[in-house]
Amino acid sequence: MTVAPFDYRKYLAIKKRIDDASLNPEVWKQLAVFLHERQAGEPLQILEIGAGIGTMIQRLLEADLLKNATYTAIEVEPDFKNSAKKTLDRWCVQHKKVFTTNQEAWQVESGDADVQINWKTGDILKMVDDMPPATYDLIIGHAVIDLLPVPLLLPRILDRLKPGAAYYFSLNYTGKTVFEPPHPRDDDILRAYHHDMDWRFPELTWQASRTGLHLGEWLREAGHTVVATGESNWSLEGNDQTDNGPRDFIANILDTIEQALAGLQGVSDWVNERRSQLAAGELHYFAANQDYFGFTRKPYMATRR
């Protein structure tokens, strides 16, 4: 059994269906209710940060949740724009929707839906202060908030949404990973991996590796409302003979750990042993994540910072 080399776009495409099965249904339901109720008048203004190859747009279209919306997607990787365009084009052909593009925007149309997509390539940390104020009704951050400096970015971004706008922050890693069977180096390898995540922002006490654990408390303390929260864990077996997806996904996780910990004594031995177990169909991978849906504070609720 061979394992494909690391390809981030392929990883995100596989991750789409793994996430579909992992997303917390109660939190998703709150997002769905919001979207059902809020697309009757002017187009709903949606902002997604860290949009990858556009899989959340596809997921929302599949769930029939985008009817009358302008969807602004921000993604730092320039190459992902083309992947997103191709993926959405293919999806629209398969689902008998009309997909049109011009230099400014893409459009998805069908009998009862009209969605405009504005894809912007750039770093949200650099773009946030130039975002038009009080424009967006909903912000989405899927599998990205734990890569960002929450106390630096979220106050700036949430205060630029419409007052009382909704947020959906899904797949936030909580800091718990388990590989089975156990290995004597697991604890120190995973501790070093979490330390590496946290040290992306050395000026902050915020632990990015525990975003899923602390995000709700952070949101409440900043005056925002948490309507729903729940687990969205990944639990994958690498031994499916008919579907390479979980195996390739775990392989990419191992590559990520190896790259992050390059130079740490013994990490290559650990990763290689895990790769052998994966190839033999003997490796199980679990990672704990947490989803959140709620509303941003209205001005009269503003707290001093």
Whole-number Å distance between alpha carbons of 81 and 138:
21
Q: Which of 47, 52, 252, 292 binds ligand SAM (CB under 6 A)?
A: 52
Interaction of residue 204 with ligand SAM, rule CB under 6 A: no
Residue 9 or 275: the one with the smaller Cβ distance to ligand SAM is 9
Assess contact for 49 and 127: CB atoms under 8 A.
Answer: no
Interaction of residue 142 with ligand SAM, rule CB under 6 A: yes
Interaction of residue 144 with ligand SAM, rule CB under 6 A: yes
Interaction of residue 125 with ligand SAM, rule CB under 6 A: yes
Q: Which of 45, 55, 211, 229 binds ligand SAM (CB under 6 A)?
A: 55
Q: Choose the binding region for ligand SAM from 20-28, 139-147, 267-275, 283-291 (rule: CB under 6 A).
A: 139-147
Using DSSP bridges, classify how beta strands 44-49 and 113-121 pair: parallel, antiparallel or unpaired: unpaired
Q: Which of 42, 79, 123, 187 binds ligand SAM (CB under 6 A)?
A: 123
Assess contact for 152 and 28: CB atoms under 8 A.
Answer: no
Residue 123 or 243: the one with the smaller Cβ distance to ligand SAM is 123
DSSP-assigned letters across all residues of 81-115: HHHHHHHHHHHHHHTT-EEEE-SS-EEEEETTEEE
Identify any residues that bridge with 74 across adjacent strands, giving them in sequence order.
Answer: 49, 120
Instruction: Outline where the chain has alpha helix (H).
Output: 8-22, 25-37, 55-62, 80-94, 124-127, 150-158, 186-198, 211-221, 245-260, 267-279
Neighbours of 299 (CB within 10 A): 8
Report, in Å, the least distance between residue 40 CB and ligand SAM. 28
Q: Choose the binding region for ligand SAM from 32-40, 85-93, 123-131, 237-245 (rule: CB under 6 A).
A: 123-131
Interaction of residue 294 with ligand SAM, rule CB under 6 A: no
Residue 98 or 147: the one with the smaller Cβ distance to ligand SAM is 147
Q: What DSSP element (H or E) covers 284?
A: strand 284-295
Q: Which of 14, 74, 253, 287 binds ligand SAM (CB under 6 A)?
A: 74
